[in-house]
Amino acid sequence: MAIETVNNTSTTGTSASSSSLTATSAAEASDRFLKLLVTQMKNQDPLNPLDNAEVTSQMAQISTVTGIENLNSTVSGLNAQFLQLQTMQGAALVGHDVAFEGNTLRQSGAVGDAGFELSSASDKVKVEITGADGTVLDTLEFKGLAAGRHDFTWDIPTARQGDDLTFKVTATAGTADVKTMSLQHETIRAVSTLDNTLALELGNGERLAYDAVWAFL
């Protein structure tokens, strides 16, 4: 099982350094503000003292800025930890099948399989199996299907085994068309990371973002 590990040593160090700088910057800004406020209060006109609401507003503003800086630093750290946790949990998915948007028929010997999603109940669903040359090899029909995901299999003729086979789904309810989504099936061979997100290495050699998975089979 090939799993790409994520080395967070340098990232953690950078994150810690950034957090330290952010904390120092926020502390220095707060300290400067308090010193200026105290100086201002010491030298204020006794006949025209500082307004309480103004002082409170200034203190609230500096507190808000400091809070946002601390929050950003915390969120960045949590994101890195979450990605690590996702990758470790994703290792348990290796060997499982997934369905995702696509129209390629998966082949296992003489049997092909795939699926589709119906937005609403359908009286009639038609699935056309097409060869690499564009020829329609077979048409499957299903009646009275409910809304949701449905799977199907097709016996591949010997002459077409190993070819690139695709399929097209159309559905109707009475005279109205029903919206469909073609779903491709593949097996997860490994997990990795892609642009700071969990990615799945599939049996067909493609890499699929975790959030692109429609269903686990």
In terms of pTM, does the model score above 0.75? Answer: no
The number of CA neighbours under 13 Å toward the Cβ of 188 is 25
pLDDT band at 173 (very low <50, low <70, confident <90, very high): very high
- Give pLDDT, residue 10: 42
> What residues have CB less than 8 Å from 116, skipping those under 6 apart?
125, 127, 149, 150, 152, 169, 180, 181, 182, 183
Convert the pLDDT of each residue in 114-153 to its tens digit.
Answer: 999 999 999 999 999 999 999 999 999 999 999 999 999 9
- Three-class SS state of 134: coil
Q: Where are the domains of the chain?
A: 9-93, 97-216
% residues pLDDT > 90 (the chain): 51
Grouping H, G, I as helix, E, B as strand and the rest as coil, residue 105 is: coil
- 97-216 carries CATH number 2.60.40.4070: yes
Query: What pLDDT digit, counting tens, does each position of 72-113 carry?
Result: 766 666 666 656 666 677 778 899 999 999 999 999 989 999
